[in-house]
Amino acid sequence: MMHRSFILCIKGSEIMSLLSLNEGKNKIIEVDGIHYVRLPIQTHVITEQDNITDVVQQYAAKYIQESDILFISEKAVACSQKRAIPLDKIHPRRLARILARFVYKSPFGIGLGIPETMEMALRECGTPRILFAAFTSVIGKLLGKRGWFYKIAGPRAESIDGPTPYTLPPYNKCVVLGPVRPNDVAREVSQHLGIECVIVDVNDLGGKILGTSDFSINRTHITRILRDNPLGQASQCTPMGIIRQIE
């Protein structure tokens, strides 16, 4: 019944596009007794030549309905802000090479586990902060605790993405930093579309909200709606999507 009520609210040729889900992802999720559909939207590969608001207008505007919430990947925003740095332009200092050796190697991403991403963390956050975060991380490991490094280093370090085997070109040879002023970006998109917007950092390990068009938006609730990463992590090329509450 939920599927039928959802289809009835979509017009003609829009149906196939909106129902094209990423492989292995669910269309509908229930949070606090309310059902939401998450609609991934495919775009071209976003680069520094793009304005993210123009991209939203081109690909998402035609699907928007009242009370929808648009969510945009932080990586897409960052790439449009010239925050993707080619690996061959990064020359890691010795400290970056040393620190990178001690980073936990997750199967879900590089993080700061290579000298190039660690170098960018040193530049983004400052050497003293990263050194203190590294020291704290050692203490945490001795106590059987993980995650202390990023709690000290902060969101700028946590948002740094390195290339992975499934990263789309040209970003398979880049380090992508976190977006600048994500709240401002979300507000600009919201004003353009007339609906709320959030900038998200979600992956197969979890997620967080980096920016919202309105401070009243419940970030924890949105994170729970997107907890299974409906945008995917590989070659889907779906850097944005729509959250829609359904009956």
| 69-73 vs 196-203, strand pairing mode | parallel
| Lowest-confidence pick of 166-170, 219-223, 233-237 | 233-237
Q: What is the pLDDT of residue 21?
A: 61
Q: Which of 195, 181, 124, 190 is nearest to 153 (CA)?
A: 124
Helix (H, G, I), strand (E, B) or coil at 191: helix
Q: Cα angle at 183 between 82 and 181, to 5 degrees?
A: 35
Those residues with Cβ within 8 angstroms of residue 160's Cβ, 6 or more apart along the chain or in another chain: 111, 112, 117, 120, 121, 124, 175, 176, 177, 178
User: At 128, is the pLDDT very low, low, confident or very high (cuts 50, 70, 90)?
Assistant: very high
Q: Which residue type is seen at 206?
A: G
Domains of the chain: 2-83+178-246 (3.30.1330.100), 87-166 (no CATH)
pLDDT digits (tens, 9 = 90+) for 29-48: 999 999 999 999 999 999 99
Residue 237: the pLDDT is 85
The per-residue pLDDT for 141 is 87
Q: The tokens of 100 are what?
A: 């990178």
Question: CA 67, CA 54: separation in Å to the nearest integer?
Answer: 21
Exposure of 210 by Cβ count < 10 A (0-12 exposed, 13-18 middle, 19+ buried)? buried
State what percent of residues in the chain have pLDDT above 90.
Answer: 68
What is residue 152's three-state secondary structure? helix
Structure tokens that stand for 49 in this block = 């030549």
The residues, ordered by sequence, that sit 6+ positions from 236 with a Cβ below 8 Å of its Cβ are: 22, 40, 42
User: How confident is the model over 98-123, as a mean pLDDT?
Assistant: 87
Does residue 8 surpass a pLDDT of 80?
A: no
CA dihedral 19, 60, 241, 164 (to 10 degrees): 110
27 pLDDT band (50/70/90 cuts)? confident
d(CA 188, CA 196): 10
Q: Does residue 97 register a pLDDT over 90?
A: yes
- pLDDT of 102: 86
For residue 25, what pLDDT band results from cuts at 50, 70 and 90?
Answer: confident
Three-state DSSP class for residue 212? strand
Q: Helix (H, G, I), strand (E, B), or coil: what is residue 89?
A: helix
